[in-house]
């Protein structure tokens, strides 16, 4: 069975756009709810239990919505997910929603893997170079992999730019073997 996350994400993006919501704030509110849900076994038991009436679940949701100052549209969207028993797909829906928002904003996502943690200045320079390559704004996700030895590997969609020392050593090894 195919995931319904993209459909829910697109539907919420349309609601958020028509209500002129700050997409980043709405995303953060859903993320805050997802973190609250992930951090509480009791909350998951209440919201995912089919024997508990929806009215009781909505009261719990309303309490959380007040605490984290949710937009009414975000609260209503989570209520729809809850009613359709899709709460287990919330993280996937959030990921899809972020992609939809990025597409509408003309941004692309880049995955950057470096051998060591990068400071803010290095990140800003790297993101500026990636934006030139991609021709649009970039949202970067960072990871570390000590086996790279140095440099970085950048993935934009299906394109990989490997500027790692490990890759350079492998290329040098191949040239020496072929010579």
Match 């605490």 to its residue by tokens.
67
| Domains of the chain, start order | 5-103 (1.10.520.20), 108-178 (no CATH)
pLDDT value at residue 2: 59
Note the pLDDT tens digit of each residue in 136-178. 778 788 999 988 888 889 888 778 888 888 888 888 888 889 9
Note the pLDDT tens digit of each residue in 4-55. 889 999 999 999 989 999 988 999 999 999 999 999 999 999 999 999 999 9
Kindly provide the b/e burial profile for residues 18-39, where b requires at least 16 CB atoms within 10 angstroms of the residue's own CB: eeebebeebbebbbbbbeebee
Note the pLDDT tens digit of each residue in 123-135. 889 888 888 887 7
Mean pLDDT of 89-97: 91
Residues 6+ apart with CB under 8 A from 13: 23, 97, 100, 101, 104
Global pTM reads 0.62
């Amino acid at each position: 069975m195919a995931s319904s996350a993209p459909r829910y994400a697109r539907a919420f993006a349309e609601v958020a756009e028509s209500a002129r919501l700050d997409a980043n704030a709405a995303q953060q509110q859903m993320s805050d709810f997802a973190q609250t849900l992930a951090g509480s076994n009791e909350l998951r038991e209440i919201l995912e239990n089919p024997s508990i009436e929806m009215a009781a679940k909505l009261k719990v949701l309303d309490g959380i919505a007040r605490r984290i100052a949710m937009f009414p549209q975000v609260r209503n969207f989570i209520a729809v997910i809850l009613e359709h028993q899709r709460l287990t797909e919330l993280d996937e829906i959030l990921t899809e929603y972020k992609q939809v928002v990025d597409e509408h904003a003309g941004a692309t996502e880049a995955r950057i893997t470096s051998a060591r943690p990068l400071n803010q200045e290095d990140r800003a320079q790297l993101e500026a170079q990636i934006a030139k390559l991609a021709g649009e704004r970039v949202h970067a996700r960072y990871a570390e992999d000590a086996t790279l030895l140095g440099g970085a590997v950048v993935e934009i969609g299906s394109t990989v730019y490997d500027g790692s020392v490990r890759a350079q050593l492998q290329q040098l090894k191949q040239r020496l073997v072929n010579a």
